[in-house]
Every structure is written in C-alpha cells, then in structure tokens.
Structure 1
Amino acid sequence: MARRGPDYTTPVRRVLIALLTLVLIGLFLFWRIDSPRAERARTALIDRFVPSFEWALVPVTKASQMIAGFQSYARIYEQNQELRRELQKMSAWKEAAVQLEQENAKLLAQNNVRIDPALTSVSGVVLTDSGSAFRQSVLLNVGRRDGIVDGWATMDGLGLVGRISGVGERTSRVVLMTDPTSRIPVSVQPSGQHALLTGDNTALPVLDFIETPDDVRPGDRVVTSGDGGVFPGGLLVGQAVQSSDGRMRLRMAADYGRLEFLRVLRSHPAETLAEQGTLIPPSDGAPIGNDEPQGPPIPPTIAGGAIPDPSDPPEGVAGD
C-alpha cells in the first residue's frame, strides 16, 4: 500500500479563507468609517475598480431581470385567474339579469295588453306537463282555490294560448290551441269573415270553414269571435298565413316557445231569460194576462160579415 505524502492543501485553504475574511472585515470597517479622507478613498476605489467590473455584473443584472420578469408573470397569472373568476360571476349575473328582464317584459306585456275591461284575470306560472290524454297541454300553479273555472281562456303577454280543461285544488290544465281537440271560433279582420280555428298538433293551426275564403288575405288579423260563448270576443289570436298546400293557417301571436306566465281570464256566462213572454209587449202597453188569448190577431170581416169559407159555392150557383 502506497504511503501518502503530507497534505498541504488544507492548511493553505484555511490560510486563504482567513485572509479573505480579514480583508472583507477590513473593507467593511473601512466602508463604515465616517471621515472625509475615507470618503475620498472610497470614491477613488469605486472609480478605479467598479467600471472594470461591468462584465461581472452582467449575469447578476440578467438574473435579477429574470427574477423580476418571473414575479411579474406570476402576478399577471394571478390577475388573469381573478379576472376569469370575475367573468364567470358576471356571466352568471348576466344570465340572471336576462331572465329577470324577460320575466319583467312578459309581466309588463300582460299588464299593458288591452282586453275587455269587464274581464279580470288571474296570473299563474307554467309548470311541467305531467301527461294526459291531450297531446298539447301545460299545467298552471293556480286552481280551484284561486277561483279558476273550467273553460276559461288563457293568454300570455299578447295573444290567446288556450283554454282551461281540468281544474284541481292547486293546479289546472290548459289545452293549447295547437291540440287536435281544440276548436275555437274566430273572426278575420278587417273583412269580418268567421272561421273555425282547428289545431292539428303543429305550430300553425288551420283556419277551417271560412265564409268567403277569397276575402281572407295573408297577414290579416285574427281575433276571437265570441260565437257560442266559448271565449270572449276580441281576443287577439294571431295572423293569417297561407301554407304551401294552399290552406289558410294561423301564425299565433302567443310565444309558445317561452310559456312561463299565463293570464287566466275570468269570463262570466251570459244572462239567461227567466220569462220569455216579456220580450213581446202588447200593442197598447198593457200587461198580458194569463187568461187572455195569445197569438195572431183575429182577421177583419168584410162589410160587417164574416169572411166566406173558400169551400162554399158562390151565390147563384146551386149545389149538387
């Protein structure tokens, strides 16, 4: 085994470290001396050595710039994430504001719609359809406790939607005009032609039984006629359009794609006549008694005599 020589590296390293430490301590103390002579010496050292150390300061400058850029990138990334969160919150608020604006517009449209002043209404919210024999129907959250009666008309903010068909204690069912079982008497304006609006499970119901089809033009306004007492007259239904098959159909004024609120119109039945005889008053203004005969007046006589019977032979002709 080879024998190692004396180690001179460790003592030399220790001596150099001690000298460097003493130089740094002396430089530190010299830099801290508050004296005009020391200040002039420090200025001279800076002017002599610092400009020649620019090449040594370049890596330090670049490193400090990189660190500052990384810190700036980190701040920008945090700000970007914060802006994304704020944008998501703003999108949610925007959606809520749009929904409130739509609901407000529909409610305002319901308040501004012009119908018969005698017709009061009850507003309800459209619920999901639970299914029934009708293919086109919706449910409302108002029922018998709110005074809803079967057969009443329902409208959205502008036009007729359908009629009440089935009333529960807290809910009621509305059969839409597009349902095949729906039959609504309507009037086409300005011609005044009467027709029957028939649902066929499409977005454009059919106008059947038009009195004079040539007088109906596409774009004519269609309202309820009030015939039969099914619906009050004058309610807006839509506009007449002509389909590709040549039949007259109806473009509904109600927005069936956004049925959220519906107005149920309270329609009162027409008054019934208790005494029909009072419609025909007597000629002299006196009331008609129960013991007096009623009917057509007795025919007058000719020259004070009675009207001869057509079956009697004329005078001067003897009978067989």
Structure 2
Amino acid sequence: MKRRRSLFVHFSHIRLLAQKFALVILFLSAFVLMLVNKTDTVIIEKTSTVATDVISPVIDVLVIPAKAIASVYDYFKDLKEIHNDNQRLKDENKQLTNLYDRARALEIENRLLSDLLNYVTPPEAEFMTARVIAEEGDAFSHSVIAYVGDKPVKKGQVALSDKGVVGRVDRVGNVYAKIILITDINSKIPVMVEKTRVRGILSGDNSTTPKMIFIPLEAELAIGDRIVTSGVAGVFPAGLPVGRVVSVDKNEIRVKPFSNLDRLEYVKLVNYGLDGILEDEEAGREAK
C-alpha cells in the first residue's frame, strides 16, 4: 500500500515537470516563429526588389507593341472623327449653298417684279437717339421733351423705343423736340392687325390704352392680336410694332402699347422720308 502511494507521488512530480517543460517549449516555439516570420519578411522584400529590377526592363519591352497598337487605334479613332466632322461640314455647306441659291433666285424674282410694277425702293431711314428730359403728361395731353442738340430733326419723324412706336415729333426747337405720344388725345396713327391686315386708326384719348377706330363692320378682332402701322397716308412706314389688343366689344377696341410710355428714357427719332399728309396739313395752314 505504501509502495503504491509512493509511486503515485513520484508520478505526480514527473507530470508537473513535464507540464513546466511543455510551457517552456511553447514559449520558445513562439519566439522562434516570430524570428522566422520577421526574417522571411525581409527576405521577401529583398527578393521582390531584385525581381522588380530584373523584370521591369522586360515588361517595358513587352509593353512597346501594346503602346504601338494603342497609338494606332487612337489614330484611326481620331481619323474617323475627322471624317465624320468633314462629312457634317459638307452637308451644312450643301444646305447653305441651297439657301444661297434660293435667296439669289428670290432676289432676281423680286427685281423682275419691281421692274414690272415700276416699284421705287424707299430711301434708307436716318435716325438719331435722343434722351428724354421731361414729361408733359396730364389730363389734357401726353407728350415728352427730348434733347436733340444740333441734329437735323423735323416735325413728323417717328419716335421709337426698343419695343416699338411711342409717338411722333410735333415741334422742334433749337436743341429740344416735343414728342406726342400715341396715347395723346391728338395722336392719330394708321394701323392694321398684323395677322388679318384689317386696317383702322389708333386714336389716343389720354388713357393708357388708346382706341382703334374706323374698323370695317365685318372685321373680327381678338384679344391678343398684334397691331402694327399700316403705312397709309405716308406718315409711318408699314409694319412698325405698336401694341396688342387687350379688350374687344361692340363699342370700342382697346390697344395696349408695347412700350412703357411712363418710363421712357431714350427714344430713337427716325426719318423714313415719308412726309405724307403732314406736308398737306402745313400747306393748308399756310394757305389760310
């Protein structure tokens, strides 16, 4: 019994020593693995560097054909784009040539018709820009005063803004000109509906929307119709923008001017060479 107990104790000591030895072996193994890993990393890095130095020239040589192929591809791609652009320009040139030929044909046709009708081309318009320095708008008149300096301005010239007709020159002083606006009660302008060519007279009544009078009974006007000068009586040339119809009823038709007549700063005074009835009026006054 004692012998058995002695063997058990002896075996326990051996097992304890074995465990301690195993622990030491484990730590040593871990340390060795760390060293090996570090050594391998350095070796791998050096090997990679050497391999790169050796392989790089080879890769450069192998890449040369690829670069050449890419350059050829880009060349043909650019060549195709140039061809497409050239074709597009040819098409556009052909269209422009056709338009030019049509324009020339219309010009010749217009010249022939003018010769047949004995049509006289109107003179080119002369104009000057004048600054508005005063307004004379009240219950009895709508007019402005513009500084014209020593420019050749005369009665009857058309006054325009960037939107259209604003009035006509009524009196000319040394350096100033009085312009009657189309809303003035004394303003009467021959006009027509741009779309239907229905004619009438735009008559001012000192309101912001002058009336359109003397319209044929069968004429049909609608809100939104554009009103332009008709050229009748030779005071205003035909086609100048005036305003737009804003109300239509049995008794009257109202037109709102395109131009803001309350905020005129500059006007263009145009001489179209159309004295018309203004000369007749002046001659009648002198005869009286």
TM-score by length of 2: 0.50
- TM-score, reference length from structure 1: 0.45
More helix by share: 2
